[in-house]
Structure 1
Amino acid sequence: MPTTPEGGRVTAITPQRRTPDRLNIFLDGAYAFSLSTALVADEGLAPQQELSAAGVAALLAADTFSKATDAAIRLLAVRPRSERELRDRLRRKEYTPDAIAAALEKVRGWGYLDDIEFARFWVAQREAHRPRGQRLLRYELAQKGVDGDVIIATIAEAEIDETAAALALARARLHTYRGLDPVVVRRRLGAFLARRGYGYDVIGPTLGTLLGELYDLNDGLAAGDH
């Protein structure tokens, strides 16, 4: 763990060459630490100012909080995230627990972090781009740390038609099994739908409908014979 610099007199404040929005702080003629330009301005930090050890620690904590908040905003700009997901990402960036907690509170207060809205986003995106059964959706949201009651309410609110979605997925997949024995096709399609989170109460009727439409039990796949 890096040690916190002792206090001293600010003798110089210079911009960093590679990071223009950060400033190098020199105490008693030697480089001590760096801070964001915004924080230096907010704190009114200037040469000849005396800083105690406690004052230095407070500045560094505020700077870490600012960096953690900026990182959280960048992550949320890519896509909505659950609170657990965002916390885990910030931990991997090695921000302190206090900085992470403060950053999460900040973005939550801005309305950028909301597990209910995240769950709605996740379900809508899955339905639009990668449909799957409710069982798998529940598992995915639980892995993201979303509360169980929120998961149940969100999926119920979405009114997902599992039968229609499973049938569409199976239809799109069917061409890869062209010419195979119907028993093999049934087994493979069933396994595919199960991996997508559908239960047998959906898989069974879906396979019955699809194979009833497209197969002649003696000759195999009859698609294209219409």
Structure 2
Amino acid sequence: MPKIIHMELKRGRPERFIVHWDNGDITPFSPDTVLRYQFSIDREFDEEELKPIFFEDEVRRAKDQILRYLAVRPHSRSELFSKTIRKGYPPEAIDQALNDLEQVKLIDDRQFAEQFIRTEMLLRPSSKRLLREKLLSRGVKRELVEELLETLCPPQSQEEALLYLIQKFWKANQRYQTKKRLEKLIRYLQGKGFDWDLIQWGIQELNLREEE
């Protein structure tokens, strides 16, 4: 039966107890686990008894890591899984931690995607195509992405976003001749994911070809 021969508290964010076993293994545990299972020097554990304790602690530590990511900015479930697994946590523990946090609505891909679309349209207006690419690259399911884009990005909002970007770009690039400015504008809008028909409509709508 494995026996604890030494324990030390590692300060930091987060705090961890480093537990040394008589078989030479060294494992980190969260303070919550150490207190809950009354870890102490010379305490012996049955092998089968330790398995669920290890898993529970891995889930708890993975959850702590995920919460630190969420404290910085919202994330999709897929983003959180990818980031956390790079920290060395087992996939099963990460999945359980994510499930637990989903149950209390701290992770919600629908809410994440809605907030992402609204923020992008407010701060960085762009096309539905570019928004779709960004959300898919963050692991949001395609069906959800299409549903939300249909609801939150109707054709009128795309036209408004395009006209806003054209006017902003046109004003910021007055040093160029009209022809050069139009060429740069078209490349800029294509980079934002707008298709040629809509770009052409926006240019005609604002009569830019007639400006000098």
- Regarding TM over 0.5, the answer is yes
For 1:133-164, what per-residue CA distance to the aligned partner results, in whole angstroms no more than 9, with x for missing partners?
11111111111122222112111221441111
Contact 2:109 2:140 in 1 (8 A): yes
- Say whether residues 1:173 and 2:181 are aligned partners: no
- Residues 105 and 52 (structure 1), Cα distance of their counterparts in 2 relative to 1, 3 Å cut: same
- Residues 185 and 32 (structure 1), Cα distance of their counterparts in 2 relative to 1, 3 Å cut: closer
1:26, distance to aligned residue in structure 2 (A): 4.0
- Say whether residues 1:156 and 2:156 are aligned partners: no
Aligned to 2:98: 104
Contact 1:24 1:33 in 2 (8 A): yes
Q: Say what the alpha-carbon RMSD is for the aligned residues.
A: 2.5
Task: Indicate which of 22, 32, 37 corresponds to 2:31.
Answer: 37
Q: Aligned equivalents of 1:129 and 1:190: distance in 2? A: 20
- Say whether residues 1:67 and 2:61 are aligned partners: yes
Stretches of structure 2 that go unaligned for 5 or more consecutive residues are none
1:14, distance to aligned residue in structure 2 (A): 4.0
- Residues 48 and 181 (structure 1), Cα distance of their counterparts in 2 relative to 1, 3 Å cut: closer
- Number of equivalences: 210
Aligned to 1:184: 180
For 1:25-54, what per-residue CA distance to the aligned partner results, in whole angstroms no more than 9, with x for missing partners?
344497743311111112233344321233
Stretches of structure 1 that go unaligned for 5 or more consecutive residues are 1-6, 221-226
- Say whether residues 1:131 and 2:125 are aligned partners: yes
- Residues 137 and 18 (structure 1), Cα distance of their counterparts in 2 relative to 1, 3 Å cut: closer
How much identity, in percent, do the aligned residues show?
23
Q: Larger Cα Rg: Structure 1 or Structure 2?
A: 1
Task: Indicate which of 102, 106, 114 corresponds to 1:120.
Answer: 114
1:127, distance to aligned residue in structure 2 (A): 0.8
- Say whether residues 1:196 and 2:192 are aligned partners: yes
Q: TM-score, normalised by structure 2?
A: 0.86
1:19, distance to aligned residue in structure 2 (A): 6.8
Q: Aligned equivalents of 1:109 and 1:24: distance in 2? A: 31
Aligned to 2:74: 80
1:87, distance to aligned residue in structure 2 (A): 1.0
Contact 1:24 1:31 in 2 (8 A): no
Contact 1:14 1:23 in 2 (8 A): yes
Q: Aligned equivalents of 1:47 and 1:38: distance in 2? A: 17
- Say whether residues 1:89 and 2:53 are aligned partners: no
1:110, distance to aligned residue in structure 2 (A): 1.6
1:34 is paired with a residue of what secondary structure?
Answer: strand
